[in-house]
Amino acid sequence: MRISPLFVALCVYVFSTSSAEAQTVPCSCMDGSSDGLVSNTDFLPFVMNWTWGDSILVPEEMGPGLCDPDGDGTSNVHDIILFTSQQQQYCDGALGGVLTLLDTVESTFQGWVLELVLAHDGMYTGIPDGAKTYRLYADFEAIPDADLYMMGLWGDADSPWYLDAPGGLYVSAFAGGDESSLPKQYDINTMFLSIFPELEYSSFWTTADMWSDSPEFGTPYSFERMEEGQRWAFQSGAWSSEDDGGSCMLSVGGSVWHDRMVVNGLHLVGQFTVLEGEAFSGQAGLALCVRPEGENVFTQLMVVPGVPYSLMDLEVLGCMDLEASNYDALASFDNGSCEYCAVGDGDCDGLVAVADLLELLGMFGCTMNCGWADLDGDGSVGASDIIAWLAVVQG
């Protein structure tokens, strides 16, 4: 294997945050179709050529769909991350153009947050009593005057992407995909959820919550490495990208620009229904793009190498603001769900009505963390709050 010192320098540059000079690659490196735009049409040729960890024997033969943007002498997951970060960029190779690789920005990753979605009692087909469904979220601090877009998950041989659940994971037979594919939320047909309710608890990785509303856009595509029997490894709770030199689940083409990829608070990356036992842990890396407010291009790449997660990251998600109508005294992590409604409108339906009075009466005698019902703010719910509520109704 021949590794040019220039390429090594480029590699060090791309995955560090302190370099000053922007690096470029020929258009032909990213625009495999030579149509002047880096897009979906370039992606498949790339995937065909870019496998993980394979040496590039003749770097001089870089051409459409085959190059080594991170300059480490192999085709690897970092190259695909760099390719993905160039999506929707224009570049005219016929004119000898070059693409400028994005600067890397310091990570604002705050850590993982794991939510217990449901402790199962055996009511769902195929999910035994005692199984637990968790959702794994990435928590990022916002970047001032810019939006963060999730590109996806990755790991390499040094910092593998893996999961470890000795009790095994539940994956529904109706979850889509095949035995070589990694279970992903995108593959689950939501039309089936009403027929097979257990499908909602099927385990998967994802680049964003594919079941949340995204009215103006379709569902964004992502790409993952296919590997024979990968699904069974995932299902057995012992899946890792380490032996393969690396793996990733990255948004394909313009999908990085999808509104669902905007990182705003907690960002869903996976759901795992652990069949038995308490143990559940693993590690994943993340890749994101930064888009400054008012600009229509990504200007920076954020790369988070593998960070371990475990049940230590378990939090109760909810609203932690006492002033909010949906204040949750049990919450340990504020997920930005706080709702603020008119005084006295406890159920937040826009009307101050009997239903609210009943809720207030239900909290009568509360002496701590009483939320909206403590209308006069004296720390407890008593007769004075009912009088205050009646005053609101009577205007």
List of residues contacting Ca ion (CB under 5 A): 31, 33, 35, 37, 42, 68, 70, 72, 76, 79, 345, 347, 349, 351, 356, 374, 376, 378, 385
Q: How far is the CB of 39 from Ca ion (least distance, A)?
A: 5
> Residue 199 corresponds to which amino acid?
L
- Cβ-based nearer residue to Ca ion, 206 or 247: 247
- Cβ-based nearer residue to Ca ion, 45 or 130: 45
- Cβ-based nearer residue to Ca ion, 99 or 150: 99
User: Contact 146/292 with Cβ under 8 angstroms?
Assistant: yes
- Cβ-based nearer residue to Ca ion, 152 or 282: 152
Q: How far is the CB of 133 from Ca ion (least distance, A)?
A: 32
- Cβ-based nearer residue to Ca ion, 308 or 365: 365
Q: How far is the CB of 347 from Ca ion (least distance, A)?
A: 4
- Cβ-based nearer residue to Ca ion, 179 or 378: 378
Q: How many residues does the chain have?
A: 395
- Cβ-based nearer residue to Ca ion, 31 or 115: 31
- Cβ-based nearer residue to Ca ion, 321 or 334: 321
- Cβ-based nearer residue to Ca ion, 76 or 271: 76
Q: How far is the CB of 285 from Ca ion (least distance, A)?
A: 16
Query: Kind of pairing, strands 54-55 and 74-75?
Result: antiparallel
HEC secondary structure over the chain? CCCCHHHHHHHHHHCCCCCCCCCEEEHHHHCCCCCCECCHHHHHHHHHHCCCCEECCCHHHCECCECCCCCCCEECHHHHHHHHHCCCCECCHHHCCEEECCEECCCCEEEEEEEEEEECCCCCCCCCCCCEEEEEEEEECCCCCEEEEEEEEEEECCCCCEEECCCCECCCCCCCCCCCCCCEHHHCCHHHHHCCHHHHHCCEECCCCCCCCCCCCCCCCEEECCCCCHHHHHHCCEEECHHHCEEEEEECHHHHHCHHHECCCEEEEEEEEECCCCCCEEEEEEEEEEEECCCCCCCEEEEEEEEEEEHHHEECEEECCCCCCCECCCCCEECCCCCCCCCCCCCCCCCCCHHHHHHHHHCCCCCCCCHHHCCCCCCCCCHHHHHHHHHHHCC
Q: How far is the CB of 222 from Ca ion (least distance, A)?
A: 19
Q: How far is the CB of 6 from Ca ion (least distance, A)?
A: 13
Q: How far is the CB of 381 from Ca ion (least distance, A)?
A: 5
Q: Residues 352, 373, 386, CA angle at the centre, nearest 5°?
A: 70
Q: Is 49 exposed, middle or buried (0-12, 13-18, 19+ CB in 10 A)?
A: middle
Q: How far is the CB of 378 from Ca ion (least distance, A)?
A: 4
Residue 291 neighbours by CB under 8 Å, 6+ apart: 146, 147, 148, 149, 297, 298, 299
- Residue number closest to Ca ion, CB atom: 33
User: Contact 357/373 with Cβ under 8 angstroms?
Assistant: no
Q: How far is the CB of 250 from Ca ion (least distance, A)?
A: 15
- Cβ-based nearer residue to Ca ion, 103 or 347: 347
Q: How far is the CB of 208 from Ca ion (least distance, A)?
A: 25
- Cβ-based nearer residue to Ca ion, 33 or 236: 33
Q: How far is the CB of 224 from Ca ion (least distance, A)?
A: 19
